[in-house]
């Protein structure tokens, strides 16, 4: 199969009306934090058991088209001994892999971060592909402050994202490009719009320079929201209006899908905001979807509590959240559906 056909096939299966992506790629420190909240020790076995629960949820493929896995999960098995990537693929869901190696402070740009992991990436991707991964994800993060992100930080992070995406496509792997503008801070929604627009302009300039084919990427984008400590909050309609304004200014129509990250929003907020976006979008050139981690998993963890007897109820909680976000893909979600 040619690389072009591989990329086309994966995009066609990932960017599907009514479906989104489950992010289950939390690092070990993040998983330890999530498990600590429910009094579970994070071990290789406890992580395997939990992720097996997620990935074996019946009928998850009705609303989930792809799952981003952590490297450890690629080599793990479900309770019945089947490799977890195969469990995902057999459900008709595309397995993907987080490939970045986390962030470090950036030299000569105080307050900015840069993501590690380009060294040896092509070799790692080839191995992940053999294990069943068909798409990848790389995240750059941008803090909003009085002087951040700096122009140097914006340009350096864009360059890294473009280099990653080019390497992925050269191997027939669809890249998810994730420039996350962080929710932390007391900035206004207008400041978030300004920063996100600058970030995404730089990203798409870099992707163009590196000859990345935009038809075969997914943009994992932040919604335009005020900082979590901002005095003035925003309602879903305002978030949708500002987010669409920014996307229309920054994102070429060639990009097939924009899958929003939840970025610290509650499950209900993330679904309501996605719903408002789709209700307002009209004839958008892109599919507006979700790539949520905690906003899909939080109710699952609270229900599971590490108890095998709660697995079925926890899977029901995941299916429900996926279904609600599936409704939000059409602009058909309402708060009353939370109680059903």
Catalytic residues, by residue number, are 178, 220
- CA atoms within 13 A of residue 99's CA, in its CB half-sphere: 33
Read off the tokens for 340: 């059903």
CB neighbourhood size of 193 (10 A) = 18
Question: Facing residues of 96 across strands?
Answer: 68, 135
All residues at 6 or more sequence positions from 130 whose CB lies less than 8 Å from its CB, including other chains = none
> Is the N-terminal amide bond of 80 cis, ω within 30° of 0?
no
Gap between the Cα atoms of 131 and 57, Å rounded: 21
Gap between the Cα atoms of 329 and 260, Å rounded: 11
Strand, helix or coil for residue 218: strand
Gap between the Cα atoms of 58 and 54, Å rounded: 9
């Amino acid at each position: 199969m040619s690389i072009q056909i591989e990329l086309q096939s994966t995009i066609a299966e990932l960017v599907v009306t009514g479906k989104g992506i489950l992010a289950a790629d939390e690092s070990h420190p993040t998983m330890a934090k999530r498990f600590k909240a429910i009094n579970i020790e994070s071990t290789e076995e406890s992580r395997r058991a939990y992720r097996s629960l997620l990935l074996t949820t019946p009928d998850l493929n009705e609303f989930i088209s792809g799952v981003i896995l952590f490297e450890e999960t690629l080599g793990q098995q479900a309770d019945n001994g089947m490799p977890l990537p195969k469990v995902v693929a057999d459900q008709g869901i595309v397995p993907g892999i987080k490939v970045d190696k986390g962030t470090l402070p950036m030299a000569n740009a105080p307050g900015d971060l840069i993501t590690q992991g380009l060294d040896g990436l092509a070799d790692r991707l080839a191995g992940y592909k053999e294990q069943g991964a068909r798409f990848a994800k790389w995240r750059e993060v941008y803090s909003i402050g009085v002087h951040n992100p700096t122009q140097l930080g914006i340009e350096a992070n864009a360059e890294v994202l473009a280099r990653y995406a080019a390497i992925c496509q050269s191997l027939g792997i669809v890249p998810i490009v994730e420039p996350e503008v962080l929710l932390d801070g007391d900035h206004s929604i207008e400041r978030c719009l300004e920063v996100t627009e600058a970030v995404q302009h730089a990203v798409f300039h870099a992707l163009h320079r590196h000859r990345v084919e935009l038809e075969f990427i997914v943009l994992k984008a932040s919604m335009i929201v005020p900082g979590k400590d901002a005095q003035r909050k925003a309602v879903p309609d305002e978030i949708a209006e500002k987010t669409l304004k920014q996307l229309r200014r920054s994102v070429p129509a060639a990009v097939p899908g924009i899958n929003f990250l939840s970025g610290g929003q509650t499950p209900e907020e993330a679904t309501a905001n996605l719903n408002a976006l789709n209700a307002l979008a009209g004839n958008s050139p892109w599919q507006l979807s979700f790539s949520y981690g905690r906003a899909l998993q939080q109710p699952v963890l609270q229900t599971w509590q590490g108890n095998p007897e709660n697995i079925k109820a926890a899977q029901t909680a995941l299916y429900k959240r996926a279904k609600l976000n599936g409704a939000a893909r059409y602009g058909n979600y309402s708060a009353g559906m939370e109680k059903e």
